[in-house]
A and B are shown apart, each in its own frame.
Chain A
């Protein structure tokens, strides 16, 4: 079959355009948040002293960082899933969350006496954090990888890594409501490792499943 015949064949299937990608992304995020919430409230739940915690800046700051990460990763992954968009610029906004947490770490180091640094950093929940952030995030990540496959990422591995950051941002936002280690030192260490696990899974997953 030559090209003009192929064109004829394709043109005769013009009548059913699929759902626009932007709509599918919104749906994917909505479903992912529900899935994450379901897992979170079934296996972890809120910390008992939540009422007192919401009045402390360290507790609230965790949400500022994780929501910033999720929001920037969301805008970035959408751009990465559409051919021809300027993803090089879009990816710059991913620096927002790391910048926030780095700043907080510096402030924390000035605030805390140096002999408490290592105990604060290690905290009491590091294993819990490394287990539950990936666990809460894996469902959303699967949904985002499917969405990437529905789209057309010209850089599948990169798009998958950012999808992992988005899943990680959502998971961390839920997990932060349970964890009692609120210090930026703890967050910068363990949350980062946990979210990186999701980003690596995303990159590997997308380079296998999101080719088109």
Chain B
């Protein structure tokens, strides 16, 4: 089963890299299933929605697909990305818990140093519609959960999800175009 998955996934990804949109869709679909299984096994405590991990991982796979060597096995690559995103989510959850306990909301939100990535993030966020921007900022930058953000902005959870993924997709699109422009 594993070996068949491996060969099939590698084939789909190779086709995707050479521009086959359907193969790419199939690849992402299968990857989503694998990651969903992993996330459900690993998330034993609450606070993280496994589906968030699935979506984060898919987005990372998309943005970092140039890091897969076409002659390398694809499953270890895929799982390494999923685990990285899982650990990231655990860390965020830990940080959220910490802040709640210590109650240092104000000092924590103080100005951080000017870094290239901060600037890039601000730049990317500036291109979004205001609604999407507050959602993406709350979740991806400040590490709030979907539920918290929904309560904070007075939106439904579904609406937050839609705004988040529209926002991220818009950033992805700009990011891709920018990279293309460098060629």
Contacts and interface: CB of A to CB of B under 8 A. Distances in A.
Interface of A: 1-22, 81-85, 149, 151-152, 154, 208-209, 211-212
B161 interface: yes
- Where chain B touches its partner, the secondary structure class is helix
Contact of A14 (B21, B72, B80, B173): B21
Nearest to A82: B67
B165 A7 contact: no
B107 interface: no
Lowest 7 A-B CB distances belong to which pairs? A84-B76, A83-B80, A84-B77, A1-B165, A11-B25, A84-B80, A14-B24
Given A6-B55, A21-B67, A151-B67, 7 more contacts: A10-B24, A13-B172, A20-B66, A83-B81, A84-B78, A84-B80, A154-B84
A17 B22 CA distance: 15
B89 interface: no
B149 to A, nearest CB: 15
Contacts of B77: 82-84
Contact of B28 (A11, A16, A83, A149): A11
Interface stretch (B40-48, B56-64, B96-104, B122-130): B56-64
Contacts of B25: 7-8, 11
Given A5-B165, A11-B24, A208 B172 contact: no
Contacts of B20: 14
A7 to B, nearest CB: 4
B93 interface: no
B64 A83 contact: yes
B4 interface: no
Contact residues on B (Cβ < 8 Å of other chain), bracket: 35 or more
A22 B21 CA distance: 24
B11 to A, nearest CB: 15
A17 B65 contact: yes
B38 interface: no
Contacts of A3: 32, 51, 54-55, 58
Contacts of A83: 64, 67, 76-77, 80-81, 84
Contact of A19 (B55, B66, B83, B173): B66
B64 A212 contact: yes
11 contacts: A1-B166, A5-B165, A9-B169, A10-B172, A13-B62, A18-B179, A19-B179, A21-B66, A84-B72, A84-B81, A154-B84
B79 A16 contact: no
A15 B67 contact: no
Contacts of A81: 67
A3 B165 CA distance: 10
